Each structure stands twice: as structure tokens, then as C-alpha cells.
């Protein structure tokens, strides 16, 4: 559970913004979306390899 302490003189909006940022960094929503549908390990691995190749190609193009 995330705990955000509201500092003295800090508005609720600011504290809520800090909470949302901290929540996003935990990756909970990404995990939930990923579990909605089963993806075979082979398909997942293929996607990772394609992404790595894409990133590597982008780096080569930059140089």
C-alpha cells in the first residue's frame, strides 16, 4: 500500500499528484493490463526480440 504524507502547507492537489506519480512508477496498471489476456511465452519472446532489433537499428542509424 502506498503512503503519501501531506507536508505542512502543501495542497491536496499537489499530494494527489505525488501519489499518482508514485502509483504509476510501481507498474501496477501495466501488470493488470498484461494479465487480462494470456500471451504464449514464445510470442512474448518474439516480441522482445523484435523490439530489441528495432532499438538496435535505431542506435545504428543515429551513428
pLDDT at 16: 93
In this prediction, residue 56 carries a pLDDT of 97
Distance from chain centroid for Cα 33 = 11
Short-list 1, 9, 46, CA closest to 26: 1
Instruction: Tell whether the model's pLDDT for residue 2 goes beyond 90.
Output: no
Flag whether the pTM goes above 0.75.
no
- pLDDT, tens digit, for every residue of 10-63? 999 999 999 999 999 999 998 999 899 999 999 999 999 999 999 999 999 988
Alpha carbon dihedral 37, 42, 47, 51, in 10-degree steps, equals: 140
**Of 23, 21, 17, 16, whose CA–CA distance to 2 is shortest?**
23
pLDDT of residue 1: 81
Amino acid at each position: 500500500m502506498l503512503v503519501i504524507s501531506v507536508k505542512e502547507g502543501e495542497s491536496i492537489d499537489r499530494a494527489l499528484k505525488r501519489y499518482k506519480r508514485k502509483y504509476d512508477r510501481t507498474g501496477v496498471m501495466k501488470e493488470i493490463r498484461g494479465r487480462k489476456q494470456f500471451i504464449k511465452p514464445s510470442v512474448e519472446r518474439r516480441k522482445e526480440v523484435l523490439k530489441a532489433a528495432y532499438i538496435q537499428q535505431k542506435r545504428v542509424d543515429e551513428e
